[in-house]
A = this chain, B = another copy of it.
Amino acid sequence: MKGAQMIMIQPVNTLSKPELEKQLSELCRQYEDVKGKGLKLNMARGKPAASQLDLSMDMLQLPADCTLEDGTDARNYGILDGISECRKLFADLLGLKAEQIIIGGNASLNTMFDTLASLFLFGTQGHKPWSQLKYEGHTPKFLCPVPGYDRHFTMCEELGVEMIPVPLLEDGPDMEVVTELAAKDEDIKGMWCVPVHSNPQGVCYSDKTVRALAAMETAADDFRIFWDNAYAIHHIYEEKTVLNIIEECEKAGHPDRPYFFFSTSKITFPGAGVSLISSSDANIRELKGHMAAQTIGHDKLNQLRHVQFFKTPENIRRHMEKLAGELRPKFDMVLESLDKELKGSGLLKWHSPKGGYFVSVDTLPGCAKRTVQLAKEAGVTLTGAGATWPYGKDPEDRNIRIAPSFPTIDELEKAVEIFILCVKIAGIEKLLEG
């Protein structure tokens, strides 16, 4: 690291109490120095940097022509499931079928919420509405691989879905746990999955995992996988492909199990992108039925704006390479700094992602909250400790999600330096307590 001279941490288990105390005292001195600088840095949310957004600015001059290829005027009412050129573009990009895609509004989060809400209000494929369960003494439950995405958990909490954490391993959710739970409890109605570059660890599901998810028997006939493919093409170091969940579920005889979500929030503009949902023919038909009461159609001019800007899947991939070029130095900095300052220290474990938006780290047990608090007091905002767990409760208080994308590289350098300092202080404090 440039800047302040950092103390190199030896493996903490080799240090005596006086040695730890000495280190802590020096670290605290450095911390007080940093605190005095009155910094204001943010590594909390997975927000693209302004430099990434600049790459899509030409899109704001579009659409140049509002007539669709079938002659329809895209400026007027209509087209419930989205313009066909947009459905086709994303079908080709993601290996989906255009007729199994509904283009949604400006964010897949909203599409997920609406889908979950429709299961509560109407049920699916003839099964009873999930809202009915609670009046019959049951509670719908979801399996939640952890650590996971806080907004998935918020959605469940809002709708009264009980969340059951299941471990996320190197190749996806722990399928021994998942299959056992799903098979025995008919109140387990679904599961969250971020199959590519997962939020926050950057895990990509193996073929074996995807096939197991598609094939497993579930006690609930209306068990649904919410397949949030938010980072499907968001590679930074390595291109990763994951099996097509819709095809695998169809092959396994559970065609209606998956809802596949995707959006351009982290491709063009967060909040001004387009989202999509894909599923079986029967589910798409059902969703369109409900949607027909909810809307005349989503923003076709924004769909067309995206189609005219990208034109082809290849152009989208090229655009993603440029975005990766913006992100890579930032991820390099975080990962190299962690390596240099904390590798072998015994104070922090982390997963090196190949893409996505985050670096997930685990402190010593009981140190995540303290680390985040220390960082906050020194002017560095991190995602709240616990946010990656259902109900915000990380049972071991270990996981922290680092989001390196938004700050500039200079800001990030300072923020990471402070973060590392805080990890060390919180860790050594804990060791001295014990």
Q: Which residues of A contact B (CB under 8 A)?
A: 45, 47-48, 50, 53, 60-63, 66, 73, 75-78, 105-107, 109-110, 113-114, 117, 120-122, 129, 131-132, 135-136, 151, 154-155, 157-159, 265, 269-272, 290, 292-302
Contact = CB atoms under 8 A, between A and B. Distances in A.
A60 B155 CA distance: 34
A305 to B, nearest CB: 9
A136 B134 CA distance: 12
A298 B106 contact: yes
A121 B77 CA distance: 29
B77 A294 contact: no
A73 B62 CA distance: 20
A199 to B, nearest CB: 14
Given A107-B296, A121-B120, A301 B269 contact: yes
A158 B292 CA distance: 9
Contact of A272 (B60, B129, B300): B300
Contact of A77 (B62, B131, B271): B271
Contact of A73 (B53, B76, B110, B290): B53
A106 B105 contact: yes
A417 B194 CA distance: 59
A129 B130 CA distance: 14
Contact of A47 (B76, B132, B154, B290): B76
Contacts of A53: 73, 75-76
B298 A109 contact: no
A77 B47 contact: yes
A290 B158 contact: yes
Closest 3 CB pairs of A and B: A158-B293, A135-B135, A272-B301
A271 B299 contact: yes
A157 B290 CA distance: 11
B293 A154 contact: yes
A299 B296 contact: no
Nearest to A118: B117
6 contacts: A47-B76, A75-B271, A77-B271, A131-B132, A135-B136, A272-B300
B131 A293 contact: no
Contacts of A265: 77
A121 B159 contact: yes
A293 B272 CA distance: 18
B109 A294 contact: yes
A301 B50 contact: no
Contacts of A60: 61-63, 66, 301
B75 A272 contact: yes
Contacts of A296: 107, 109, 151, 270-271
Most buried by B among A110, A271, A297: A271
